[in-house]
Structure 1
Amino acid sequence: MNKTILITGASAGIGKAAAQYFAAKSWNVIATMRSPEKETELTTLNNVFVTRLDVQEKESMQPVIAEGIKRFGKIDVLLNNAGYGLFGPFELATDAQIKQQFDVNVFGVMNLTKAILPHFRANKAGTVINVSSIGGRITYPIVSMYHATKFAVEGFSESLAYELAALNIKVKLVEPGAIATGFDTAANFTGNPEITDYDAFVQGFLNLWGSKTMERTTATQVAEVIYEAATDGTSRLRYLAGQDAKAFMQVRMSGEEGYHAYMQEHWVPKNV
């Protein structure tokens, strides 16, 4: 029997690429998204079930899992991919913006994982793959809330991996660097017209970001890494995706002093 993966945030970017990649590998795919009525490509694939799931709506999770099991027999892998980006100075973030950042990136991951674990325990097998980010290992200026959520996902996943291993349930982290999906340009920004003290710093960082000639990883390349994590049969926890992510981790592992000096030199605006 073909294996089945449940994917969140499958309407675009990494999630859609993963749905297409796994389907091409003869997996059954439960492709979830907030507006399935808008999807026109995944619905043409026989082994893909497109359905609605908003990870901020906890009550919708069990029905989706039950329907997926009814269609395909069981679920082998959960891919927590849905994500939201909030950029800008922390002081200018509203309570609503901060709540949404954590509701999607952290509590959505936790709630859906908790919802599927009874099924995995009954099967005595299963894999949870959480799409983190190199931003869960390193930090940029003006991205504190996004980093906070990805650091939380990293810690949650690492600890969870220990407690589920004895049940033959694996937990994996995929950590992409900059990706060619427009995620950063589509990010939401904090702001307050009455506070202008951060303006020069923010613009300085955006100028730095725009000046970097980073080779962005494609969504399909990330999907290939996700497939490796799902199928390699190991208990490996972390999978870097993208040459920039690997380069950043080399700097990070060089030691705290060298890492912070590198970030100050290359990513913190000067003379602002």
Structure 2
Amino acid sequence: MNDTSTYERLVGTKQDMPKTIFITGASSGIGKAVARQFAGQGWNVVATLRDPSAETELVNGDRLFVTRLDVQDESSVTSAVDAAVERFGGIDVLVNNAGFSLFGVFEALSPHKIQEQFAVNVFGLMDVTRAVLPVLRRQGGGTIVNVSSSGGMITVPLMSMYHATKFAVEGFSESLAYELTSQNIFVRLIEPGAVRTQFGARMFSEFAHDRSLACYDRFIDKTNALFAAMLGGETSSAEQVADVVFDAATDQSSRLRYVVGEDIAALVKARHEMGEDNYIALMRARFLSAEPAAPTAGGR
């Protein structure tokens, strides 16, 4: 009598099958680039988005499955994970990519929009992770890639709520990485700087303005000019970020963070090497003085 369990037979079968990646926020930008990257590498790809009916580039095929998932709708999360397992037999890598950014001074942001920011960027990410973890554990391991941001390590004005959510993702992911090591599950954090996607356009469209807060206008105008200069400089493409996501998903080391983009590397280095007082002085000079300072690659 053969007493091999169903799970053991499934795992044995999956050894010879393409691996499967499950991606949130695949309708555009980084999410779509990640779907294309892994499909090109021969993986099974589950590309999830809020409105699959509007998608024209990612088309269902033998190894590409497009399905609905809204991170603010828990039933859609469960349904998408179940459908992915039914379609491909399991999930090897989860990429939590869905997210957006509010923009504006804190006083101008409505409580409703702040709650939405956390619902999408933090609680939605947690809900998807919670739904996928049992699948990874049953399979004996896997990888969770959380697309965070350099904004989870450093901050700039007018994005306080976005930073709050990304700092939350950083802390959650780092702690989770320790406990999931016991289950042979890796956790990775992707830290892009400025990326040439529609993310920035949506961020500016979400700009919160309150006419009663005219006292901020001069500061906002100057900060917007600095942002425009930054975005007009060296930025990463969504495809470059997708390349790093692939490296992170297939890396067998214990590495947690992957910074993407030379534009942000100097600031990250400065944050780690300059000391708290010097770094804060640098950032104050950049955003508050008439002649903004810029860090060098060496952080001095």
Q: 1:192 aligns with which of 193, 200, 210?
A: 210
Taking structure 1 as reference, are residues 173 and 201 closer, same or farther at Cα in structure 2, changes over 3 Å only?
A: same
Matched, 1:132 2:148: yes
In the alignment, the residues of structure 2 paired with residue 214 and residue 46 of structure 1 have an alpha-carbon distance, to the nearest angstrom, of 40
Describe the superposition over 1:64-85 as per-residue Cα deviations: whole angstroms up to 9, x where unpaired.
1111011111100110000111
Q: Percent identity?
A: 51
Q: Which residue of 2 aligns with 1:201?
A: 219
In the alignment, the residues of structure 1 paired with residue 127 and residue 168 of structure 2 have an alpha-carbon distance, to the nearest angstrom, of 14
- 2:100–2:202 contact (8 Å) kept in structure 1: no
- 1:244 Cα offset (Å): 1.6
Q: Which residue of 2 aligns with 1:55?
A: 71
- 2:23–2:96 contact (8 Å) kept in structure 1: yes
Matched, 1:29 2:45: yes
Q: Give the total of aligned pairs.
A: 271
Q: Give every structure 1 segment of 4 or more consecutive aligned residues whose post-TM-superposition deviation is greater than 4 Å.
A: none
In the alignment, the residues of structure 2 paired with residue 45 and residue 207 of structure 1 have an alpha-carbon distance, to the nearest angstrom, of 45
In the alignment, the residues of structure 2 paired with residue 48 and residue 18 of structure 1 have an alpha-carbon distance, to the nearest angstrom, of 12
Matched, 1:258 2:278: yes
In the alignment, the residues of structure 2 paired with residue 34 and residue 268 of structure 1 have an alpha-carbon distance, to the nearest angstrom, of 40
Q: Which residue of 2 aligns with 1:123?
A: 139
When normalised by structure 2's length, the TM-score is 0.87
Contiguous gaps of at least 5 residues in structure 1 = none
Matched ranges for 1:84-103 at <5 A: 84-103=100-119
- 1:45 Cα offset (Å): 5.0
Matched, 1:217 2:236: yes
- 1:34 Cα offset (Å): 0.7
- 2:145–2:189 contact (8 Å) kept in structure 1: yes
- 1:141–1:268 contact (8 Å) kept in structure 2: no
The alignment's C-alpha RMSD in Å is 1.4
- 1:61 Cα offset (Å): 1.0
- 1:201–1:269 contact (8 Å) kept in structure 2: no
Taking structure 1 as reference, are residues 43 and 91 closer, same or farther at Cα in structure 2, changes over 3 Å only?
A: same
Q: 2:254 aligns with which of 235, 251, 254?
A: 235
- 1:44 Cα offset (Å): 5.9
In the alignment, the residues of structure 2 paired with residue 191 and residue 57 of structure 1 have an alpha-carbon distance, to the nearest angstrom, of 29
- 1:33 Cα offset (Å): 0.5
Taking structure 1 as reference, are residues 4 and 227 closer, same or farther at Cα in structure 2, changes over 3 Å only?
A: same
- What amino acid does structure 2 have at the position aligned with 1:118? P
In the alignment, the residues of structure 2 paired with residue 211 and residue 243 of structure 1 have an alpha-carbon distance, to the nearest angstrom, of 15
Describe the superposition over 1:13-45 as per-residue Cα deviations: whole angstroms up to 9, x where unpaired.
000000000000001110000111111111065
In the alignment, the residues of structure 1 paired with residue 79 and residue 90 of structure 2 have an alpha-carbon distance, to the nearest angstrom, of 14
When normalised by structure 1's length, the TM-score is 0.96
- 1:7–1:78 contact (8 Å) kept in structure 2: yes
Taking structure 1 as reference, are residues 83 and 244 closer, same or farther at Cα in structure 2, changes over 3 Å only?
A: same
Taking structure 1 as reference, are residues 89 and 270 closer, same or farther at Cα in structure 2, changes over 3 Å only?
A: farther
SS at match of 1:234: coil
- 1:132 Cα offset (Å): 0.4
- 1:267 Cα offset (Å): 3.2
Look at both structures and tell me which one has the larger radius of gyration over its CA atoms.
Answer: 2
Matched, 1:16 2:32: yes
SS at match of 2:165: helix
Q: Which residue of 2 aligns with 1:154?
A: 170
Q: Which residue of 2 aligns with 1:82?
A: 98
SS at match of 1:19: helix
Describe the superposition over 1:219-245 as per-residue Cα deviations: whole angstroms up to 9, x where unpaired.
000000000000011121000111122
In the alignment, the residues of structure 2 paired with residue 240 and residue 25 of structure 1 have an alpha-carbon distance, to the nearest angstrom, of 22
Contiguous gaps of at least 5 residues in structure 2 = 1-16, 292-300
In the alignment, the residues of structure 2 paired with residue 17 and residue 191 of structure 1 have an alpha-carbon distance, to the nearest angstrom, of 32
- What amino acid does structure 2 have at the position aligned with 1:259? Y
SS at match of 1:240: strand
- 2:137–2:183 contact (8 Å) kept in structure 1: yes
Matched ranges for 1:104-119 at <5 A: 104-119=120-135
Describe the superposition over 1:185-228 as per-residue Cα deviations: whole angstroms up to 9, x where unpaired.
32111222222121211111001111334211000000000000
Q: Which residue of 1 aligns with 2:83?
A: 67
- What amino acid does structure 2 have at the position aligned with 1:132? S
